[in-house]
Amino acid sequence: MMIDPVDVLKTTKSVLPIPLPTSLISSLTATHTASHTSLPTVIPDPIDRQFAGDDGKKTLWVIFVAMTIASAAFAAMSWRVPVQRRLYHVVTTLILIIASISYFAMATGHGVSVHKTIVRHQNDHVPDTTTEVQRQVFWARYVDWALTTPLLLLDLSLLAGLNGAHILMAVVADIIMILTGLFAAFGSEGTPQKWGWYTIACIAYLVVIWHLAVNGRAQANARSQKVGSFFLAIAGYTLILWTAYPIVWGIADGSRKLSVDAEIIAYAVLDVLAKPIFGIWLLVTHANMPETNIDLGGFWSYGFGGEGAVRLEDDGA
Q: What is the pLDDT of residues 130-146, one digit of tens each?
A: 778 788 899 999 999 99
Residues of the chain whose pLDDT is less than 50? 6, 8-9, 13-16, 30, 34-44, 311-317
Of the chain, the end-to-end C-alpha distance in Å amounts to 140
Contact criterion met (CB below 8 Å) for 164 and 211: no
On whether residue 2 sits in a domain, the answer given is: no
On whether residue 150 sits in a domain, the answer given is: yes
On whether residue 14 sits in a domain, the answer given is: no
The contacts of residue 75 (CB under 8 Å, 6+ apart) are 89, 93
Cα separation, 59 vs 52, whole angstroms = 10
Q: What is the pLDDT of residues 245-279, one digit of tens each?
A: 999 998 988 888 899 999 999 999 999 999 999 99
Number of domains in the chain: 1
Question: Do β-strands 129-137 and 113-121 pair in parallel, antiparallel, or remain unpaired?
Answer: antiparallel
CATH number at residue 229: 1.20.1070.10
On whether residue 64 sits in a domain, the answer given is: yes
Would you state the pLDDT for residue 135? 87
Contact criterion met (CB below 8 Å) for 275 and 99: yes
Residue by residue, DSSP assigns 150-198 as HHHHHHHHHHHT--HHHHHHHHHHHHHHHHHHHHHHTPPTTSHHHHHHH
Which range of residues forms the domain containing residue 231?
47-295
- Phi-psi region at 122: left, alpha or beta (left = phi > 0; alpha = psi -120 to 50): beta
On whether residue 316 sits in a domain, the answer given is: no
Would you state the pLDDT for residue 121? 60
On whether residue 312 sits in a domain, the answer given is: no
On whether residue 13 sits in a domain, the answer given is: no
3-state secondary structure of 66: helix
On whether residue 80 sits in a domain, the answer given is: yes
Would you state the pLDDT for residue 27? 54
Number of helices (H), then strands (E), in the chain: 12, 3
Would you state the pLDDT for residue 35? 47
